[in-house]
Amino acid sequence: MKHHSLAVIPGDGIGPEIMNEAMKVLQLIEEMHGGFKFDIQSFNWNCEYYLKHGKMMPDNGMEILKDFDVILFGAVGEPRVPDHISVWELILPIRKTFEQYVNMRPIKLLKGLESPLRHKSHDDLDFVVIRENTEGEYSNMGGRLHQNTPYEIAVQNNVFTRYGTERIVKYAYEYASCHNVKRLTAATKSNAMNHSMTFWDDIVKEISQQYNTIETNLYHIDALAAYFVSNPEKFDVVVASNLFGDILTDLGAAIVGGLGLAPSGNINPEQKYPSMFEPIHGSAPDIAGKGIANPIAQIWSVGMMMDHLGYSELNHLILESIENVLVDGKVRTPDLGGTATTSDMGDAILERLRTLL
């Protein structure tokens, strides 16, 4: 029997609520498959922990996580703790330290759902955004001077290294090539950001030379955002810097029905360190504690995790169960126009999955 070590960080707000449903799914596939076992350890590193200890995780937190095969993450953040603390002290150190430089974010309209973009079909809305996840605009370099004076200035540096840019662009082309994709779109803004983004463009052009069967389009981020809405069928693989990818994927989630439906993988392709899977949305303090959050993004993240561990058939079955429930249409959380609870939705997916396994 194969053993996989899994660190679970449910987090704050709706994080633990949706993680609960994801764990039920994990338990079921473990029981029904019979070929593997998860050795699970759960960590309460969240804002509550911060309020008690003055930090989001213990000093040896990264040391502890390092030895796990994979990490499943919910969401962190709550009103009593500034957002930049939960992000900079927990999520970003994990992504950066473990060289999870690929942030894989599928933008896919699931069967049973309609896009808010009228006339756009399931074929039109099926692509991936590959976001750079370790550098770029989220650099933590910069500063503030002359605070609270009329001369106050703030500087946030963007850091694009050749090493970091080449590896994400190469990954995107390799991904496109392995999936028989004919077009790759890179998000840029080299007309205004004349150092970082011209550099980004140069690297995209350099690497594109090695993939002459793939058509490359460099679009400025503003136009690209508009195309996401007007012509999403233009896209197969989109590669973007850290900030641009972040913004594009919330937009991407919106065009396929909402944030509760968008999973992601923070991947270390070399598998030197653990990869981490999480919904792209946050802890949603506005609906936390009500039991009405949509668990689909979290459950689909389990699917992506299974795919990463080499069980791609289980990822397909999880997605099929989610789609079956949506097509059936009886169980829907409020974000999808229904009245079902988080656990109603989790249980419905679980029941479908049981029949498919």
Q: In this chain, which of 196, 275, 283, 315 binds ligand ATP, going by CB under 6 A?
A: 283
Q: In this chain, which of 294, 301, 315, 341 binds ligand ATP, going by CB under 6 A?
A: 294
User: What is the secondary structure of 20-66 as a DSSP string?
Assistant: HHHHHHHHHHHHHH-SEEEEEEE---SHHHHHHHSSSS-TTHHHHHH
Residue nearest to ligand ATP (CB): 282
Which residues, 6 or more positions from 118, have their beta carbon under 8 angstroms from its beta carbon?
A: none
Task: Give the interface segment with ligand ATP, choosing from 61-69, 98-106, 198-206, 281-289 (CB under 6 A).
Answer: 281-289
Which positions from 246 to 275 touch ligand ATP by CB under 6 A, shown as an x/- string? -------------xx---------------
Which positions from 239 to 278 touch Mg ion by CB under 5 A, shown as an x/- string? ----------------------------------------
Q: Does 16 contact ligand ATP by CB under 6 A?
A: no
CB of 291 to ligand ATP, least distance (A): 11
Q: DSSP state, 91?
A: I
Token pair 């703030």 is at which residue?
154
Query: Is the Cβ–Cβ distance between 8 and 43 less than 8 Å?
Result: yes
Nearer to ligand ATP, 11 or 61 (CB): 11
Q: DSSP state, 234?
A: G
Q: DSSP state, 274?
A: -
Nearest to 113, CA basis, from 333, 286, 340? 333
CB of 14 to ligand ATP, least distance (A): 6
Q: Does 105 contact ligand ATP by CB under 6 A?
A: no
The CA distances from residue 55 to 44, 59, 60, in Å, are: 12, 8, 12
Nearest to 123, CA basis, from 16, 263, 7, 232? 232
Token pair 């923070």 is at which residue?
266
Q: Exposure of 57 by Cβ count < 10 A (0-12 exposed, 13-18 middle, 19+ buried)?
A: buried
Nearer to Mg ion, 203 or 284 (CB): 284
CB of 182 to ligand ATP, least distance (A): 33
> Tell me, what amino acid is at 157?
N
Handedness of CA 11, 12, 15, 16 (dihedral sign): positive
Residue positions counted in the chain: 357
Q: Does 335 contact ligand ATP by CB under 6 A?
A: yes
Which positions from 277 to 306 touch Mg ion by CB under 5 A, shown as an x/- string? -----x------------------------
Query: Is the Cβ–Cβ distance between 204 and 169 less than 8 Å?
Result: yes
Query: Is the Cβ–Cβ distance between 184 and 173 less than 8 Å?
Result: yes
Nearer to ligand ATP, 112 or 269 (CB): 112
- Considering CB distances under 5 to 8 angstroms, the limit depending on partner class, which of ligand ATP, Mg ion, none binds residue 294? ligand ATP
Q: In this chain, which of 284, 304, 306, 349 binds ligand ATP, going by CB under 6 A?
A: 284
Nearer to ligand ATP, 117 or 261 (CB): 261
Q: Which residues bind Mg ion (CB under 5 A)?
A: 282
Q: Which residues bind ligand ATP (CB under 6 A)?
A: 14, 18, 77, 83, 259-260, 281-284, 286-287, 293-294, 297, 335
